[in-house]
């Protein structure tokens, strides 16, 4: 005996013509719903299916027929996108529209019906920083259905509007990590109280920054409340050299970040020099043993291997007995 398989594709080989007596459809796995249409008429599924209550997006449609012998045909599967919950051909009008900028809260738009109004005339950008922004726009129709979101991008290129003069009223800086607009370290106003000249004499001392390289950001605010783009620079907080005496020894200590292979210690008898290398070390301290048996005061500075930065005891403050 040998095994085999075969498919029954019809239970009737009499050659009789069979007609569809019942047609039904199913959406997204729901119950099958019968279709009642006129015999021999031609319809599109959009005219037959009820999509009221379907959310906009992709849906699955399954269709099957039953012939006059009661046999159910194979299910045909298809997909469609619901872009509207009403296929009746009724005219829908926009009753409400709103926008949001940079993913914030939606703000309603209020303008005259039927008017063509540029967005830049009804959207306030005074509080926006100079640079690239995104805008999302959506509408709701008179059936209370909200449409898809339309996204676009725009650039605020200048805080100057319609040729009006702008003045700077505030400025701030930050180190290493931007805390956000308005949250930096305030820079005091110039001596005359306003930023109103091409060049202003402002002196600001910043303390408590760790020794090493840092990122520095600067920005200003104009009289409309808008902040400029941030100017970025880098700064180096120099190492601090502390020199003290102990008996006949001069003890040097300094601060600097990790990663320096070797430091070189220089010494001179006076501020004019000449300075000479007296030793090198991998530590951040050095003891000039017995120096005060040779001279009553000394001036020092320390460099690291490429001599790109030096730290020096200020002139007029020598280490002495």
pLDDT of residue 287: 92
Name the fold adopted by 241-320.
Answer: Immunoglobulin-like (2.60.40)
Q: Which residues are paired to 307 by β-bridges?
A: none
Percent of the chain with pLDDT over 90: 2
pLDDT in tens, 203-237: 667 777 777 778 889 888 888 888 888 888 887 77
Q: Is the dihedral of CA 9, 11, 15, 21 positive or negative?
A: negative
pLDDT of residue 316: 45
* Ranges of each domain in the chain: 20-82, 94-156, 168-237, 241-320
Q: Which residues are paired to 101 by β-bridges?
A: 135
Number of C-alpha atoms within 13 angstroms, CB side, residue 151?
5
pLDDT in tens, 255-276: 776 667 788 899 888 887 788 8
Shortest CA distance to 309 belongs to which of 254, 232, 251? 254
pLDDT in tens, 50-98: 676 777 778 888 888 888 787 888 878 877 766 655 545 566 777 888 8
Averaged over 299-321, what is the pLDDT? 59
Q: Which residues are paired to 133 by β-bridges?
A: 154
pLDDT in tens, 271-291: 877 888 999 988 889 999 988
Beta strands 310-312 and 276-281, pairing class: unpaired
Shortest CA distance to 226 belongs to which of 85, 81, 125? 125
Whole-model pTM?
0.33
pLDDT of residue 14: 58
Percent of the chain with pLDDT over 70: 70
- Give me the chain's average pLDDT, please: 76
């Amino acid at each position: 005996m040998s095994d085999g398989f075969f498919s029954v594709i019809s239970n009737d080989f009499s050659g009789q013509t069979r007609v569809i007596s019942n047609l039904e459809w199913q959406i997204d796995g729901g119950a099958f719903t019968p279709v009642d249409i006129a015999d021999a008429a031609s319809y599109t599924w959009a005219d037959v299916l009820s999509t009221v209550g379907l959310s906009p997006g992709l849906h699955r449609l399954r269709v099957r027929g039953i012939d006059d012998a009661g046999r159910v045909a194979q299910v045909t599967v298809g997909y469609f996108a619901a872009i509207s919950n009403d296929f009746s051909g009724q005219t829908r009008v926009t009753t409400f529209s709103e926008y949001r900028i940079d993913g914030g809260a939606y703000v309603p738009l209020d303008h005259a019906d039927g008017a063509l109004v540029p967005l830049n005339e009804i959207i306030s950008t005074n509080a926006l920083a100079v640079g690239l922004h995104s805008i999302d726009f959506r509408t709701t129709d008179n059936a209370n259905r909200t449409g898809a979101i339309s996204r676009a991008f725009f650039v605020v290129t200048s805080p100057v509007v319609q040729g009006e003069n702008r003045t700077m009223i505030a400025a701030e800086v930050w180190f290493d990590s931007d805390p956000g607009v308005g949250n930096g370290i305030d820079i005091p106003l110039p001596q005359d109280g306003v930023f109103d000249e091409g060049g202003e004499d402002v002196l600001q001392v910043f303390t408590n920054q760790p020794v090493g390289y840092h990122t520095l950001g600067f920005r200003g605010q104009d009289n409309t409340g808008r902040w400029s783009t941030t100017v970025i620079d880098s700064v180096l907080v120099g190492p601090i050299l502390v020199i003290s005496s102990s008996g006949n020894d001069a003890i040097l200590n300094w601060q600097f970040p990790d990663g320096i292979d070797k430091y070189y210690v220089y010494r001179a008898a006076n501020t004019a020099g000449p300075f000479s290398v007296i030793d090198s070390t991998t530590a951040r301290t050095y003891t000039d043993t017995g120096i005060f048996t040779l001279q009553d005061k000394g001036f020092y500075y320390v460099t690291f291997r490429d001599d790109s930065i030096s730290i020096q005891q200020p002139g007029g403050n020598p280490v002495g007995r």
